[in-house]
Amino acid sequence: MRIGELAKATGVTTRALRFYEEQGLLTAARSHNGYRHYDESAIERVANIRYLLDSGLTMEDIRPLGSCLQGDLPARQLSSSAVELVNRRLAVLDERIETLTRVRKQLSSRAAAARGGVGA
């Protein structure tokens, strides 16, 4: 299938597909006119990339997992290295949540002070 067909089948833009290819996560055969051609397994591979991105992982996190992007990824048991990766990402998210909570409290206090102390 061509890139537009893969984009339609996965709900991902052609730009994102080209980016996944640049990152080494997706491969395409090239026809004599330069068009990209993907096999049916690319649909599952893109779905798994999206699953990982939507789970909070970054492209940097996903890149080393390139060889593991086929199959039913959500149902697969995590390897020890994947557990380490997830734990590192959770630590980053926890830090961000702490920062955002602190910033929210500061803004809430300033807003309350601007309203003359009414509400928070």
User: Model confidence over 53-110: pLDDT tens digits?
Assistant: 998 899 998 988 877 888 888 888 888 888 888 899 999 999 999 999 999 999 999 9
Q: Residue 116 belongs to what H/E stretch?
A: none
Tell me what pLDDT residue 53 has.
93
pTM (predicted TM-score): 0.76
Contact 52, 62 (CB under 8 A): yes
What would the two tokens of residue 20 be?
């996944």
**Beta-bridge mates of residue 30:** 36
Tell me what pLDDT residue 81 has.
83
**Residues 36-47: pLDDT tens digits?**
999 999 999 999
Q: Taking the mean position of all CA atoms in its chain, how far away is CA 105?
A: 29
Domains of the chain listed by start with CATH number: 3-117 (1.10.1660.10)
